[in-house]
């Protein structure tokens, strides 16, 4: 799969997944996720997908400052309903990276490795999401603010032309370049920006 070169400059997320180790998918349970993996999950790269990836990485780093995040041992709550706005898209990315799943998630094996019931919506929260470690109860509230990395003014007009079919091949190519450049700025230039990725103890 060809992809923009800057994807490879985005730091990966390494996690420890005991289930992966138990079932032999990874010798030591270590799994590394890259931005390209969540692009494949979503089927596209956009500011929403980028913000979900960046925010989850920041939240897990805050919860696990001295060790790999324990995939499958994290609960994630959303303030909005699952069908509100882009919440469902964000939740899919968060679920992939954390292992937290809703009612359809893995039930576990002999009381171990369960993922079900660890992703929920409509919670009373001060920010968009709350991540909680199940081993010690530590938690952080988190919210991405991608609007603080605005799109170039020309992008909306290019999008309209592409959607109504009037765009030339050159216009479509320019639209894609500008669209992905905003993603690049979010994750490469602002990946450590506390104003864009808000994470605080809950």
What does the pLDDT read at residue 158?
A: 92
What does the pLDDT read at residue 15?
A: 98
Is 109 among the domain residues? yes
Please compute the mean of the pLDDT values over residues 71-97 and round it to a whole number: 98
Distance between start and end Cα atoms, the chain = 40
Please compute the mean of the pLDDT values over residues 62-83 and round it to a whole number: 97
Dihedral angle computed from the Cα positions of residues 30, 32, 191 and 36, in that order, rounded to the nearest 10 degrees:
-160
Is 16 among the domain residues? yes
Q: What is the pLDDT of residues 166-186, one digit of tens each?
A: 989 999 999 999 999 999 999
What does the pLDDT read at residue 78?
A: 98
Question: What residue numbers bound the domain in which 87 lies?
Answer: 5-147+196-201
Is 172 among the domain residues? no
pTM for the structure as a whole: 0.96
Token look-up 């790999």 returns 68
Is 154 among the domain residues? no
Residue 111: pLDDT band by 50, 70, 90 thresholds?
confident
Is 63 among the domain residues? yes
pLDDT at 100 over 80: yes
Q: Report how many domains make up the chain.
A: 1
Is 132 among the domain residues? yes
Alpha helices, H only, 35-168? 35-42, 47-63, 87-98, 155-164
Please compute the mean of the pLDDT values over residues 60-75 and round it to a whole number: 97
Is 34 among the domain residues? yes
What does the pLDDT read at residue 160?
A: 92
Look up the CATH number of the domain holding residue 34.
3.30.1330
- DSSP conformational letter for 11: P
Q: What is the pLDDT of residues 182-200, one digit of tens each?
A: 999 999 999 999 999 999 9
Q: To 5 degrees, how large is the angle CA 105–CA 123–CA 150?
A: 95
Q: Report the percentage of the chain scoring pLDDT > 90.
A: 96
Residue 20: pLDDT band by 50, 70, 90 thresholds?
very high
Is 184 among the domain residues? no
């Amino acid at each position: 799969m060809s992809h923009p070169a800057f994807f490879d400059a985005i730091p990966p997320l390494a996690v420890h997944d005991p289930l992966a180790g138990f079932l032999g998918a990874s010798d030591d349970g270590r799994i590394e996720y890259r931005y390209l993996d969540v692009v494949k999950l979503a089927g596209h790269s956009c500011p929403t997908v980028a913000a979900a990836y960046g925010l989850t990485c920041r939240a897990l780093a805050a919860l696990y400052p001295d060790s790999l995040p324990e995939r499958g041992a994290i609960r994630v709550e959303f303030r909005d309903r699952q069908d509100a706005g882009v919440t469902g898209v964000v939740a899919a990315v968060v679920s992939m990276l954390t292992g937290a799943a809703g009612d359809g998630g893995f039930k576990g094996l002999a009381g171990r490795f369960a993922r079900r019931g660890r992703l929920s919506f409509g919670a009373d929260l001060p920010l968009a999401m709350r991540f909680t470690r199940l081993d010690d109860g530590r938690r952080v509230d988190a919210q991405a603010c991608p609007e603080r990395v605005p799109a170039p003014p020309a992008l909306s007009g290019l999008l309209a032309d592409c959607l109504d079919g009037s765009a030339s091949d050159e216009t479509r190519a320019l639209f894609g370049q500008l669209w992905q450049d905003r993603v690049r700025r979010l994750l490469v230039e602002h990946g450590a920006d506390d104003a864009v990725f808000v994470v605080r103890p809950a």
